[in-house]
Amino acid sequence: MERLDAMAYDVLAAKLASRGVDVHKVRQRLKNQRIETPSWGFADSGTRFGPYKQAGSAVTIEEKIADAAQVHRYTGVAPTVAVHVLWDFPNGLADCATLSDYAKSLGVAIGAVNPNVFQDRDYAFGSITNDDPAVRKRAVDHMLDSIEIAKKLASDILSLWFADGTDYPGQGDFRRRKHYAEECLATVYNAMPAGMRMLIEYKPFEPAFYHTDLADWGMSYCFARKLGPNAHVLVDLGHHFTGQNIEHIVSFLIDEARLGGFHFNNHKYADDDLTVGSINPYELFLIYNELVKAEPDDGAGFEIPPHHRGNPPIAYMIDQAHVTKAKIDAMIQTVMQIQSAYAKAMCIDRKKLHEAQLAKDVVTAEMCLQEAFATDVEPLLRRVREEMGLDPNPLEAFRASGYWDRVSSERGFRSGAGLGA
Ligand code: RM4
Ligand code: MN
Ligand code: MN
């Protein structure tokens, strides 16, 4: 097996060399990749019809961090966990006193802090766009508290998503609501310490079904620009209409230096929060193609134009709720899927692609992408994992560890705070 692996790797390295790709650099970049898991992805979640409970689902933030640490332990590239304030710290600041140390003891750290201004009944008619100043203040205060929590947890990302919108024409005034949102966001932005970034997520519909106040990337971008250099757009892959060209949006935002991060997931119909790459792996690959081009060294030895540079650091976060899959298995599978898309995007013959574009040879240009997408990058990923001191197959290694069997019998079925729970 080892000999076969070594042979497969050599064949792949030779293939990549013929495309002008330096396989050593690709390995290095794969080792430097970072993916953030969400605390809520380890807890019970559900559908609009109700929550589904799994034996072993995490309830406390300590359990969620412990589960996230398993994902990092077997993949080596998921060292941070995003947290959701209301679900993870129901008592606010008091709940997170020793959490950084706890996370550190398990080999991980806290990532983006997500305030929650959508669950409470008060927000049914909007949070930062509500006509009632007391509700707007409540939402702003919660975000200010979230900044304090982020400081306490040594996190430098405040990640915002708003459910604000209306269900029927005439229900609200678009422009009045827009001005409320601008004012509230400015208050929050100005309270952030130096070095903290605000990520602004958008979503076209749901839970509001007529209009959403932050409906698309252009609106998030517009708010971010008005706020200042530390406000960036968060692209959640599930928050687009079917057929929308997400890689184009990604590329545009990179060029404007406003792409702040991702919420990885995949959808077939709406905001399904399925495993990224499960429905449309080619889309994920095409997104990574844009990201690879924006990295300082494209690893292909081909000079990338300076206008592709200068974007802020990109937070690669997962936002998935696994209802039917075993949660840690699904998270490891997700990380592997993202690694694979990244690796494939680095297998593109960039010189050939560039020349084909200039020569208006559409077929060759497209085939440069298709050949890279069809490349079996598993031998490369296995080699990288071995070099990182990991098992070449993280999912099998995790399953063989017995962790899940142990925690599911220890924890059993329980209720807890969380999405739909
Ligand atoms: C939204 C959005 C946010 C997430 C909430 C629960 O659709 O994706 O990121 O925090 O769901
Ligand atoms: Mn999201
Ligand atoms: Mn979503």
Ligand 1, atom 4, residue with closest C-alpha: 161
Averaged pLDDT, 386-411: 97
**Alpha-carbon span 50 to 47, nearest angstrom:** 5
Ligand 1, atom 10, residue with closest C-alpha: 161
**Which residues, at least 6 apart from 208, have a Cβ–Cβ distance to it below 8 Å?**
163, 164, 165, 166, 167
Is residue 239 within 8 A of residue 251, CB to CB? The reply is no
- pLDDT tens, 243-290? 999 999 999 999 999 999 999 999 999 999 999 999 999 999 999 999
For residue 419, pLDDT over 80 is answered with: no
Q: Is 318 helix (H, G, I), strand (E, B) or coil?
A: strand
Q: What is the pLDDT of residue 8?
A: 96
Task: Report which ligand 1 atom has the smallest distance to the Cα of 265.
Answer: 8
Number of Cβ within a 10 Å radius of residue 420: 16
String of b and e for 68-78 (b: at least 16 CB within 10 Å)? bbbbbbbbbbb
- Ligand 2 centroid–CA 332 distance in Å is 19
Per-residue DSSP letter, 138: H
Task: Report which ligand 1 atom has the smallest distance to the Cα of 271.
Answer: 7
Q: What is the pLDDT of residue 302?
A: 43
Task: Report which ligand 1 atom has the smallest distance to the Cα of 206.
Answer: 7
Q: What is the pLDDT of residue 417?
A: 54
Mean pLDDT of the chain: 94
For residue 301, pLDDT over 50 is answered with: no
Q: Model confidence at 386, in pLDDT bands (50, 70, 90)?
A: very high
- Ligand 3 centroid–CA 118 distance in Å is 12
Ligand 1 lined by 263 (C-beta under 6 Å): yes
**316: β partners:** 262
**317: β partners:** 36, 263
Q: What is the pLDDT of residue 122?
A: 96
Ligand 1, atom 9, residue with closest C-alpha: 161
Q: What is the pLDDT of residue 281?
A: 98
Ligand 1 lined by 271 (C-beta under 6 Å): yes
Pair type for strands 165-166 and 211-212: antiparallel
Ligand 1, atom 5, residue with closest C-alpha: 161
Q: Tokens 């933030």 correspond to what residue? A: 61
Counting ligands in written order, the one closest to the CA of 163 is 1
Secondary structure element (H or E) that encloses residue 167, with its range: none
Ligand 1, atom 3, residue with closest C-alpha: 161
Counting ligands in written order, the one closest to the CA of 45 is 1
- pLDDT tens, 18-51? 999 999 999 999 999 999 999 999 999 877 777 7
Is residue 130 within 8 A of residue 136, CB to CB? The reply is yes
Q: What is the pLDDT of residue 300?
A: 47
**Alpha-carbon span 408 to 412, nearest angstrom:** 5
Task: Report which ligand 1 atom has the smallest distance to the Cα of 236.
Answer: 8
Is residue 202 within 8 A of residue 154, CB to CB? The reply is no
**Which residues, at least 6 apart from 419, have a Cβ–Cβ distance to it below 8 Å?**
40, 43, 45, 46, 51, 87, 321
Strand residues in 29-147 grouped as ranges (E): 36-38, 46-47, 50-51, 80-84, 109-114
Ligand 1 lined by 236 (C-beta under 6 Å): yes
Instruction: Characterise 131 by phi-psi region: left (phi > 0), alpha (psi -120 to 50), beta (else).
Output: alpha
Is residue 31 within 8 A of residue 342, CB to CB? The reply is no
Sign of the four-CA dihedral 407, 409, 415, 418: positive
Strand residues in 237-387 grouped as ranges (E): 259-264, 315-318
CA distances from 295 to 31, 143, 303, 354, 357 (A): 14, 32, 11, 17, 21
- pLDDT tens, 71-126? 999 999 999 999 999 999 989 999 898 899 999 999 999 999 999 999 999 999 99
**Alpha-carbon span 223 to 231, nearest angstrom:** 8
How is residue 199 written in tokens?
């990520």
Which mutation among 84, 319, 320 tests ligand 1's pocket best, with the greatest number of atoms within 8 A of CB? 319
Evaluate the omega torsion of the peptide bond into residue 207 and state whether it is cis, within 30 degrees of 0. Answer: yes
Averaged pLDDT, 334-340: 98
Task: Report which ligand 1 atom has the smallest distance to the Cα of 234.
Answer: 9
Averaged pLDDT, 147-161: 97
Q: Is 373 helix (H, G, I), strand (E, B) or coil?
A: helix
How is residue 382 written in tokens?
């296995």
- Ligand 3 centroid–CA 144 distance in Å is 23
* Opening angle at CA 411, ends 405 and 417, nearest 5: 130
For residue 304, pLDDT over 50 is answered with: no
